[in-house]
Amino acid sequence: MGTVFDAWQFSQALSEVGWATGISAPLLQERQRQRLGQVLAAARAGSSLYARRLRGLPDGPEALARLAPVTRQELMDHFADWVSDPALVLDELRAFTADADRIGEPFLGRYLVWESSGTSGMPGIFVQDARCLALYDALESLRRHPVRPLQRWLDPLGLGERIAFVGATSGHFASYISVERLRRLQPWLAPSIQSFSILEPLDRLVDNLNRFAPTALASYPTAAALLGDEAQAGRLHMPSLREVWTGGETLGRAVRERVQHQLGASIRNSYGASEFLAMAWECAQGHLHLNSDWVLLEPVDEHHRPVPAGEPSASVLLTHLGNTVQPLIRYDLGDQIVFSAQACECGSALPVIEVQGRRDDTLQVAGRRGRRVALLPLALSTVLEEQAQLFDFQLCQRDEHTLLLRLPQRAAEGRQALAAGRRVLQAFAQAQGAAPLTVQGELGVAVPRGRSGKACRILPRREGG
C-alpha cells in the first residue's frame, strides 16, 4: 500500500530548509515574512472561514496582529468553511480515523490524516498534503542534531540502526502514522524500524524490546523513564541502545539525567504537535530551536496580548507557514512557552524556546491574599522529580485547597514516597503564595495513559467537577 510522497516537493523542501539553516536573523525574518504573506493570500482565496476573518485587513503580514485568534473548537465546528478542498468532509474523515485498519493509508489517495489526542478538549483532525509532508521530512532530515555526527556521515541512510518507537499504536496519531509512513516509503528499512504499544502489559513490552535490541528509542519522556526503571531493575536489556528521542511531553532535567544514566544513552528532545509535527529540535547545546522559518509562535497572556522574551506565556498562537489545505493562522495552541532573550552558543539564528506544559494543566489554588495562585505543570513535575525523586505519579486537584497524589508504590515504600511528595508540594505552593494545601495520597495506583499513550500526570480541577 502506498503513502503520500512527492519526490519533487521533497527536493524543493530540502533545498529551502537547507539554505535557511545557517542564515542570519534578518534573512530568516525576511523569509518568514514572505511565507506569511503567501499563507494569508492562500487563506483568503481558499478558506471561507479565514476570508471572513481577514476581510478589511491589510493584504500583507501586517494583518497578523489584527487578526482575532482561533480555537480548535471553532475550526472543527466550521470544518467545511475552514479547509480549502471541498472533498475534505468531516464526517468522512471521522469515519476514516475511526478505522484502525486504515492507519497510515492515504485519504482520497493524496492526504495523510491524523487525529489529536483530545487531552486538552475536543479532538482535532489534521490533514497534510504532499507539500506539507515534504516540509516535515526535510526538517526532520536536516534540523535534528545527530548525537553521533560521524556515524551519520558514514551511514546516512541509517542502515545500521534499529529504531524502536514506543507509543500509542491503536489510533491515527501523528507519531505512529509517521513511523508507518517511513516504513512504507523505505521498505528495505522496515525490519529495522518497529513500533511497540505503550498500552500493552509492561512485561510483554520489555520482552519485545529485549528481542528487538534497538540502537535508538523514540518515545514520550514518561515512557522512557518507565523503561529506565525496568533497565535499572535488570529486566530490560538494550546493550546496543545509543540514542533516546523524546517528544510529546515536557522533559524535565531530572528525568533527562535519570533516563540517560539508566539506559546508558544520549537523549535528544523535540517539540511538535498534531498541528505542526516538527516545531523544534535540540541543538548540540541542549536547547530547543524553533523552526521559525516555517512556523510562527506568538507568546501571549490570558488576553492574547504579547508576552516579552524571558517571561512564560499563558498560551501561544501558532501560524503554519506550509499548510494551505487546512490553514492554521493565529491558532490558540494552549502551550506555555518561554522565548529566550539570549542567542544560543551553537550559533543558530533560530529562536530558543523552553516548553513549560499546557495551559489547561495549570492548577489554580487559593492564595494567602485572597487571590488564586497558578501552579504550572512543569514546576510541579520538577519539584516532584528533583526534590522528591518521584518520576511515576499522578497529581490531581480536588479543590482549591486540596491535591491528591497518586503513586504506584505500596506499603512502607509508598508511605515514604508520599511523605516526600507531600513535603515538597506544600513547600513549593507556600513559596508561590498559596494558602496552606492539603495533599492526600493514594498508593498502589498505576499512572493512566490516554489513547495517545501520553501519561496523565497533572489533572487540574474541572469546572463542575
Q: Residue 381: which domain range? A: 362-459
> What is the per-residue pLDDT for 76?
96
Q: Is residue 98 in a domain?
A: yes
Please list, residue by residue across 34-47, b when 16 or more beta carbons sit within 10 angstroms of its beta carbon and e when fewer do: ebbbebbebbbebb
pLDDT tens digits, 176-212: 999 999 888 888 888 999 999 887 888 899 999 999 9
Q: Answer yes or no: do 269 and 418 share one domain.
A: no
- Residue where a domain terminates, one of 324, 359, 394: 359
Helix (H) or strand (E) holding 163: strand 163-167
Domain match, 303 and 378 both: no
Q: Could you give phi then psi for residue 55, rounded to 5 degrees?
A: -60, 130
Tally of helices (H runs) and strands (E runs) in the chain: 14, 20
User: Are 254 and 267 in contact, with CB atoms under 8 Å apart?
Assistant: no
Average pLDDT over residues 117-124: 63
What per-residue confidence (pLDDT) applies to 450? 72
Amino acid type, 189: L
CA–CA distance, 331 with 12 (Å, rounded to integer): 27
Are 349 and 389 contained in the same domain?
no
Grid coordinates representing 442 are: 493514594
Beta bridge partners, 267, equal 244
Q: Is 429 helix (H, G, I), strand (E, B) or coil?
A: helix
Q: Is 1 contained in some domain?
A: no
- Indicate if 178 and 270 belong to the same structural domain: yes
In a domain, 200, yes or no: yes
Q: Do residues 378 and 334 share a domain?
A: no
CB 52 within 8 Å of CB 327: no
Q: Which pLDDT score, from 0 to 100, does residue 464 have?
A: 47
Q: Which residue, 307, 334, 359, sits at the end of a domain?
A: 359
The answer to whether 455 and 447 are in contact (CB under 8 A) is yes
Q: What is the pTM of this model?
A: 0.84
pLDDT digits (tens, 9 = 90+) for 333-362: 989 899 999 999 999 999 999 998 776 677
Task: Report yes or no on 250 lying in a domain.
Answer: yes
Same domain, residue pair 255 and 397: no
Task: Give residue 437's identity as a one-letter amino acid code.
Answer: L
Length of the chain: 465
Check whether 64 has a pLDDT greater than 60: yes
Is-contact 332 77, C-beta < 8 A?
A: no
pLDDT single digits (tens) 274-317:
999 999 999 989 999 999 999 999 999 999 999 999 999 999 99
Helices 253-263 and 221-232 pack at an angle, to 10 degrees, of: 40
* One domain, residues 334 and 377: no
In a domain, 465, yes or no: no
Q: Which of 359, 389, 419 is the last residue of a domain?
A: 359
Q: What is the CA radius of gyration of the chain?
A: 22
* Rounded-to-integer distance, Cα 409 and Cα 443, Å: 6
For residue 374, what pLDDT band results from cuts at 50, 70 and 90?
Answer: confident
Question: Does residue 2 sit within a domain?
Answer: no
Same domain, 33 and 174: yes
The pLDDT of residue 151 is 53
pLDDT at 456: 80
**Stronger pLDDT, 116 or 67, i.e. the higher one:** 67
Confidence tier at 448 by pLDDT (50, 70, 90):
confident
Output 258 or 356, whichever has higher pLDDT: 258
Same domain, 335 and 373: no
374, part of any domain:
yes
CB 341 within 8 A of CB 282: no
Of 338, 370, 344, 373, the C-alpha closest to 356 is 338
Residue 269 DSSP label:
E
Q: Are residues 153 and 230 in the same domain?
A: yes
What's phi and psi for 216, nearest 5 deg?
-140, 140
3-state secondary structure of 238: coil
DSSP structure class, residue 303: T
CA 40 from centroid of its chain's CA atoms: 25
Please say if the pLDDT value at position 327 is more than 80. yes
The verdict on residue 453 lying in a domain is yes
Neighbours of 106 (CB within 10 A): 17
448 and 341 in a common domain: no
pLDDT given for residue 439 in this prediction: 97
| 222 close to 452: Cβ distance less than 8 angstroms | no
- The percent of residues in the chain predicted with pLDDT above 90, rounded, is 67
Look at residue 154 in the predicted model and tell me its pLDDT.
44
Indicate if 343 and 425 belong to the same structural domain: no
CATH number, residue 257: 3.40.50.12780
- Under 8 Å between Cβ of 238 and 215: no
Q: What is the pLDDT of residues 75-118, one digit of tens each?
A: 999 999 999 999 999 999 999 998 989 988 999 999 999 998 65
387-402 pLDDT, tens digit per residue, is 999 988 999 999 999 9
How many angstroms separate the CA atoms of 293 and 280, rounded?
Answer: 11
Please state the domain count of the chain: 2
Judged by average pLDDT, the poorest of 288-292, 325-329, 461-465 is 461-465
The CATH code of the domain that includes 366 is: 3.30.300.30
- What residues form DSSP beta bridges with 300? 306, 315
pLDDT band at residue 159 under the 50/70/90 scheme: low
